[in-house]
Structures are given as structure tokens and as C-alpha cells.
């Protein structure tokens, strides 16, 4: 698989990474451990060298799973994880105090069976801790050899600038896809100016852009999408127009809607490395197949022109979660 550099940091990753969250958290029951390990190892065999986790996924279980899965080839992959919630629990709110950052780093190193975290993200901006203090703590961890690079997630352009001025930021991880294009307004120009890589999560619109979800789809009771306004039954029906567009392009390219959605993302910037997640091997292989699809300028123009005429319905987060992003 093609390798990409995340901005000016020198951090090289596979063009497509693997978001591991859904194996343990967020989308219903956790995947069987051995099946999850097998999936991660298959991804590596197929060229994926970039794996994304967080202490909050589980909490803690996802990091343990990832560490065990990549142990045989640890030196050949980039491991990303995140700090920033109290006790690793999203419901308890943010905690990016220097003390907590250090505690999470030490615990994550043990859980992932490694001596260094390749990419350590602040999961969400903590309004109670100045970002300069966060960056300074990371700077110390880098000097100590415990962290190689750091990043932010769902941060505003202003916060990115402040953080980057203290300790250069390697990557921003935020939602970005044909389903959510807000980063194009201010975030992407800021990243380009500063030489920071972009790691889009939910590049398939939390599964919607695969074309396998419609208004009759029933999610597991523990599936996060049950509380997402954009996934209400009515909005799923209204938003099918975007999937129909992807299906049309996919037919022309002998591909799938998911592959077109990922190929579109890869074509945006050379320093973008999406991290689609999945629990299924056939979906993993489908996603990896998107890297071979070349969309010409005419294809991208056609997609963008058609997409600009489609109105998407529903907020991407319920209000209590929306309050945590863009800070």
C-alpha cells in the first residue's frame, strides 16, 4: 500500500489506517477477541501500518487488544492512542491535566506492550487546561522518549495554532467525509499552512456511505448511532440521495460506494490518511481496495458538483457531544 507523510512531521503511515474503536466500543457488543486480533493482523498483511486506538475505547480494552495483535510486528507499525477523559470514561468529562496525561501515557505503554507511543492525541480539547500546558507536557514526554509525535482531535483552528506554536503537531484527527465536509472551511487550510497531517475518522459516515443502511435498519441497543440525529429513521431516508450518488459513480468505476467515498477522501490531499473501522474481514478488504481506485479531476468535479446539490439532514452529534468539538 502507498505510504503517506502526515504533514511536515516526518511520520509515515499507510494511506489507509485501521480505526480500531468499533472492535471494543461504540457500535454494539465487542468483537470476539481472537476474531479482532485476526482482523488487525490481516490488515497488516494487506499493507496497513497505521492503527488507531484510545484509552476510552472500552475503556482500556482496545489498547490491550491492539497491543497483543501487533506484538509480532510492533516495529513495523504506527500505533496511535489518545488521552483526555477522566478515568478513561467519556461520560465523566475531560481531563487533560499534565498529571493525567502522564498517567495515561504510562498506562497506555503497558497496555499496548510497547516502549513508545508513535502518535498520542488529545481526544477532546479540555476547557479547564490551557492547550499550551498540554503541549508542554507532551514536549516533556517526547524528550523522555515515551512519545514520538502528538496530535489533536476535533480541535478548532485557533487551538491548533496555539498548540503547534509550543510543540509541533503531527496530525489532527477529526471527522471528514462526503457526509461531513465542515473541515474544508477553516481546518484544512490551517493544516495545510502549518504542515500538519489530517487523519479523518468516520470516513464512511459511520457506515452510512457503504450503502448498507436505510430507514429500516435496526441498530444494536448499545450502538452509538441510536442517539445521533443524522441517523434518525426519517433522516436516514432523506439522506439516501448521497448514497445514490456514490452508487452511480461506483457502477461506472466497477467499485462499491464505500470504495468511492474513500477514494474521494484520498484524492483531496496527499497528507490525508483516513482510518475506516470495521469488524468484518470482507469490509476490511473492500476498504483497502479503495486505494487502487484513481479518481480523475473530471470524476472529482462530477462528485463535488452533484454533492453540492444534496442537502444532508440531521446534526452529526447530539447536543451534549456537539459541545465537546471545535473548541
Going from the C-alpha of 107 to that of each of 45, 84, 111, the distances in angstroms are 28, 13, 6
User: For residue range 95-132, what is the model confidence (pLDDT) as tens digits?
Assistant: 999 999 999 999 999 999 999 999 999 999 999 999 99
The predicted pLDDT at position 145 comes to 98
CA distance 146 to 45: 27
- The span from the CA of 302 to the CA of 225, in Å, is 30
What the chain holds in terms of domains, given with CATH numbers, is 3-206+268-289 (3.20.20.100)
pLDDT the model gives residue 316: 96
Closest to 280 (Cα-Cα) out of 16, 13, 43: 43
**259 and 290 Cβ atoms separated by less than 8 Å:** yes
DSSP category for residue 146: S
Contact 211, 246 (CB under 8 A): yes
Condensed to tens digits (0 to 9), the pLDDT of residues 290-314 reads 999 999 999 999 999 999 999 999 9
Hey, which bits of 179-309 come out as E strands? 197-201
pLDDT of residue 3: 98
* Catalytic positions, written as ranges: 57
> Which tens digits make up the pLDDT trace of 162-191?
999 999 999 999 999 999 999 999 999 999
- Residue 232: the pLDDT is 97
Amino acid at each position: 500500500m502507498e505510504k503517506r507523510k502526515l504533514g511536515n512531521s516526518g511520520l509515515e503511515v499507510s494511506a489507509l489506517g485501521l480505526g480500531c474503536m468499533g472492535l471494543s466500543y461504540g457500535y454494539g457488543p465487542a468483537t470476539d477477541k481472537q476474531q479482532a486480533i485476526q482482523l488487525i493482523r490481516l490488515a497488516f498483511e494487506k499493507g496497513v501500518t497505521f492503527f488507531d486506538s484510545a484509552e476510552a475505547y472500552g475503556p482500556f480494552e482496545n489498547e490491550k487488544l491492539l497491543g497483543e495483535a501487533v506484538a509480532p510486528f510492533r516495529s513495523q507499525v504506527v500505533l496511535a492512542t489518545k488521552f483526555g477523559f477522566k478515568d478513561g470514561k467519556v461520560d465523566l468529562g475531560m481531563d487533560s491535566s499534565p498529571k493525567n496525561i502522564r498517567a495515561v501515557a504510562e498506562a497506555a505503554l503497558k497496555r499496548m506492550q510497547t516502549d513508545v507511543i508513535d502518535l498520542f492525541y488529545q481526544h477532546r480539547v479540555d476547557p479547564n487546561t490551557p492547550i499550551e500546558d498540554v503541549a508542554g507536557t507532551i514536549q516533556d514526554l517526547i524528550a523522555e522518549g515515551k512519545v514520538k509525535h502528538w496530535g489533536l482531535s476535533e480541535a478548532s483552528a485557533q487551538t491548533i495554532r496555539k498548540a503547534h506554536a509550543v510543540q509541533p503537531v503531527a496530525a489532527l484527527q477529526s471527522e471528514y467525509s462526503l457526509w461531513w465536509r465542515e473541515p474544508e472551511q477553516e481546518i484544512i487550510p490551517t493544516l495545510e499552512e502549518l504542515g500538519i497531517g489530517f487523519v479523518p475518522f468516520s470516513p464512511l459516515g459511520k457506515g452510512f456511505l457503504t450503502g448498507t443502511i436505510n430507514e429500516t435498519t435496526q441498530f444494536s441497543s448499545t450502538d452509538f448511532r441510536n442517539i445521533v440525529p443524522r441517523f434518525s429513521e426519517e433522516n436516514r431516508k432523506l439522506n439516501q440521495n448521497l448514497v445514490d450518488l456514490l452508487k452511480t459513480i461506483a457502477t461506472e468505476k466497477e467499485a462499491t460506494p464505500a470504495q468511492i467515498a474513500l477514494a474521494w477522501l484520498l484524492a483531496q490531499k496527499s497528507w490525508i490518511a483516513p482510518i475506516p473501522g470495521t469488524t468484518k474481514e470482507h469490509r476490511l478488504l473492500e476498504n483497502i481496495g479503495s486505494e487502487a481506485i484513481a479518481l480523475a479531476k473530471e470524476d472529482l468535479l462530477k462528485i463535488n458538483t452533484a454533492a453540492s446539490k444534496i442537502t444532508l439532514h440531521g446534526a452529526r452529534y447530539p447536543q451534549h457531544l456537539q459541545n465537546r468539538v471545535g473548541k
